Amino acid sequence: MEEAFVKTPLGVAKITGDSHGIASIIVLDTEEIRTDIIPESLEDAVYQLNEYFEGIRKQFLLDLKPEGTEFQKRVWKALQNIPYGQTTSYLELSKTLGDIKAIRAVAAANGKNPIWIVIPCHRVIGSDGSLTGYAGGLHRKQWLLEHESPFKQQSLF
């Protein structure tokens, strides 16, 4: 596996993968990039992630190879169907997967998502509209949802 690091508005993202696909994208609690070298196999992921943060990209076109259980992979696949700028609830996601009683398992799989932003687990909120758990921190979840919102907050001054 190869690694690349990219600065984002939410911290440094570490991308791991190879020519077969992206295995993980995680956000680090640091502003320091460990290396500026970007392996050829990860160049497209770095490019697309930068486009996302610039507000240009709304859909990722990357080969993904996350490691997890079959159930987790089903949840992560379902997450990829949540459109940019929209949200769903854990309850609705469990209904989509065909088992309303699996809501806690769905939430747990969502929390173990290894591919930050590209598999958009930040688009899952509580049934009451609240921002609930997010591995990267609720401040990042809120930032991402605002970034994707079609209704941008205007400054009064």
In sequence order, what DSSP letters do the residues of 70-128 get, joined into one string? HHHHHHHHHHTTSPTT--EEHHHHHHHTT-GGGHHHHHHHHHT-SBTTTS-GGGEE-TT
pLDDT at residue number 150: 81
pLDDT at residue number 40: 96
Q: Does 6 qualify as catalytic in the annotation?
A: no
Which whole number is the average pLDDT over 48-60?
96
Residue 101 carries which DSSP code? G
Tell me which amino acid residue 128 is.
D
pLDDT at 111 over 70: yes
Residue 95: CB partners within 8 Å, gap ≥ 6? Answer: none
Q: Which position has the token pair 């929209």?
A: 86
- Mean pLDDT across the chain: 92
- Residue 131 three-state SS: coil
Angle at 149 between CA 71 and CA 109, to 5 degrees: 15
What the chain holds in terms of domains, given with CATH numbers, is 2-54 (3.30.160), 70-148 (1.10.10.10)
**Annotated catalytic residue within 22, 121, 125, 145:** 121
